[in-house]
């Protein structure tokens, strides 16, 4: 089904599809990166786990009437998705304070945000994905004021839905990153992936970190953690 390689990022490869001009294949890699690519490693089977987890979550969001680029899981490491023009803005939702925001603003670790805090970052590796405001986003992308308002509304709705999902499998959704893209008709939908690479998840009982922080902070076996998340998701089905 896949033909020309269009793009290779840190975690995925993107291919054109034969005879389907408006659809792409996302192939998940085994690579793990942190600190804007300064720390790198590879874990045999990580691509499969991220694909399985992300496919499960996108399917769940579809059941909740949340539109995304996801069409179907093709195999262990690949997804079929609708082609979108990615808006170069990463939308980060924070339910609890941890990571960069505690250092940036001096907010105490585990401080809850109510309502959840939404931040925008310009998607540019060369610049280190800087924090931006709405006015910057209007300059740096083709998004309009109405688009940004809609993206934030969708983001908070997705946060509510995902919090409930993760609570069902005994995890706290601490924070996560979303990306959005335009379909050919101009409508904006959720894109990219949702996985432990893009979410911070803590075990509800032990507070154990169940995400890529295990790799970032050398806390243990990354593959084991991802396998546990997939097992919990599959057990709820």
Per-residue pLDDT of the chain (237 residues; tens, 9 = 90+): 788 999 899 999 999 998 888 999 999 999 999 887 789 999 999 999 999 999 999 999 999 999 999 999 999 999 999 999 999 999 999 999 999 999 999 999 999 999 999 999 999 989 999 999 999 999 999 999 999 999 999 999 999 999 999 999 999 999 999 999 999 999 999 999 999 999 999 999 999 999 999 999 999 999 999 999 999 999 997
CB 9 within 8 A of CB 97: no
**Residues 194, 197, 198, 202, CA torsion sign:** positive
Q: State which H helix or E strand residue 152 sits in.
A: helix 145-168
Q: Taking the CA of residue 155 as centre, how many other CA atoms within 13 Å lie in the half-sphere pointing to its CB?
A: 25
Q: What is the pLDDT of residue 171?
A: 98
Tracing tokens 């990219």 back to the chain, one arrives at 192
Q: What is the pLDDT of residue 31?
A: 95
Helix (H, G, I), strand (E, B) or coil at 235: helix
0.85 exceeded by the pTM?
Answer: yes
Residues ≥6 apart with Cβ < 8 Å to 2 = 15, 16, 17, 18, 25, 27, 78
Both structure tokens of 68: 């995304």
């Amino acid at each position: 089904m896949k033909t020309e390689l269009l793009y290779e990022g840190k975690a995925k490869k993107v291919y054109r599809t034969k005879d389907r001009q408006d659809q792409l294949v996302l192939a998940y890699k085994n690579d793990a990166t942190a600190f804007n690519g300064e720390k790198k490693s590879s874990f045999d089977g990580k691509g499969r786990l991220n694909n399985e987890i992300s496919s499960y979550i996108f399917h769940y969001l579809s059941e909740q009437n949340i539109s995304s680029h996801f069409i179907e899981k093709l195999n262990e490491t690949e997804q079929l998705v609708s082609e979108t023009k990615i808006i170069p803005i990463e939308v980060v939702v924070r339910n609890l304070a941890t990571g960069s925001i505690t250092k940036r603003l001096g907010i105490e670790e585990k401080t809850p945000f109510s309502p959840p805090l939404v931040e925008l970052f310009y998607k540019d590796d060369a610049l280190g994905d800087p924090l931006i405001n709405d006015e910057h986003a209007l300059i740096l992308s083709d998004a309009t004021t109405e688009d940004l308002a809609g993206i934030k509304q969708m983001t908070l709705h997705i946060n509510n839905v995902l919090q409930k999902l993760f609570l069902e499998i005994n995890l706290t959704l601490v924070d996560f990153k979303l990306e959005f893209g335009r379909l050919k008709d101009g409508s904006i939908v959720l894109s990219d992936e949702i996985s432990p690479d893009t979410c911070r998840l803590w075990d509800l009982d032990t507070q154990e970190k169940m995400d890529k922080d295990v790799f970032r902070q050398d806390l243990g076996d990354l593959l084991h953690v991802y396998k546990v998340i997939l097992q919990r998701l599959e057990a709820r089905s």
